[in-house]
Amino acid sequence: MSYQPSDDRYEHLNWRHAGTTGLALPEFAFGLWQKFGDRTPFETQREIVLAAFDAGVVHFDNANRYGPPHRSAEKNFGRILREDLGAWREELVLTTKAGNPIGPSPYHRGGSRKNLLQSLDHSLRDLGTDYVDVFYFHHPDPKTPLEETVGALAAAVRSGKALYVGISNFYRPDEAHRAAELLREAGVPLALHQSRYSIFDRRLEIDDVLGQSAEDGVGLVTYSPLAQGLLTDKYLDGVPDGARALDSDFLSTDDITEQYRERARALNDLARQRGQSLAQLALQWVLRRPEVTSALIGASSVAQLRHNLQAPSLAPLTDEELAIIDTHGVHGTGLRIA
């Protein structure tokens, strides 16, 4: 039987604007970073993506680098779009990125016009669509003038291959501000800045990227709000079989220290007192900030997806609870960050 989306899909989530643009997005975006390559059965991917759309998540985040291998996540999502979601393309917000390395060639990395625009063409081919809604520059490139990178982003919009543009991982507020200014001068507003943010990773607060984004009228899409699973109950008593820490490039068993467990257990106790999970608490904490347009989440099952999407419906965090979170949510806990 062909797929038919839920009739009440727009009744579940709150919506926020991407900065000062007219682009409205649901408070959750769904990311295809690590679980949507060729190691995960396609039917599992399809089931999760369609469940997300049924729940009101229309914002799907991709990149040329996502897999493994690189580009496979875009190809797999392209198949879902072709076989299931194509009739609802106008309701979807599809994003992709370029700039992080995907191969040995100098034309497979960085912020050059050549790399960005040819990568966008490849992404459109793999996704099977004429345009993406947001095209991101994935990471600052000190070897390429920012003016050249911004020119390529603006060209993507003028060509009709992207409707909006964004930046990602610009943790220096002055660099993010300069990108916003250059794009404004080019007549193409910077809609979104995608950055890592969680109870255990507070760089956006420490360096006031939050404030700079608000001043520049840029929405924030925050990824890894669960800190690679550290802000769930998965590692409270050790490292279970099949856990991400056993085979991830971004999390190691060495990161599961006793100090981490003490802090995570205290946060978990607070979540239990509130009648929720640690993951739901962590998502509420990220979404409490008005500068955040969407929290970017992933899922390895439909049940996990649905559980996490319930977070905004729970009781708001009180000042006293936020103070407890600040006590135990120490920046850098369990993470390899500056």
pLDDT given at position 245: 53
At 294-333, the pLDDT tens digits run 999 999 999 999 999 999 999 999 999 999 999 999 999 9
CA distance to 69, 109, 176, per residue, from 151 (Å): 29, 17, 15
Give the global pTM.
0.95
pLDDT given at position 307: 98
pLDDT band at 70 (very low <50, low <70, confident <90, very high): very high
Report cis status (omega within 30 of 0) of the bond before 189.
no
Does any domain span residue 21? Answer: yes
Average pLDDT of the chain is: 95
Domains: count for the chain = 1
CA distance 287 to 317: 11
pLDDT given at position 119: 98
Domain that residue 34 falls in = 15-230+277-320
Instruction: Report whether pLDDT(244) > 70.
Output: no
Does any domain span residue 22? Answer: yes
Q: Which of 215, 120, 213 is nearest to 158 (CA)?
A: 120
Which CATH number characterizes residue 313's domain? 3.20.20.100
Does any domain span residue 264? Answer: no
pLDDT given at position 190: 98
Contacts 24+ apart (CB under 8 A), 43-47: 44/301, 45/76, 45/77, 45/80, 46/80, 46/83, 46/84, 47/302
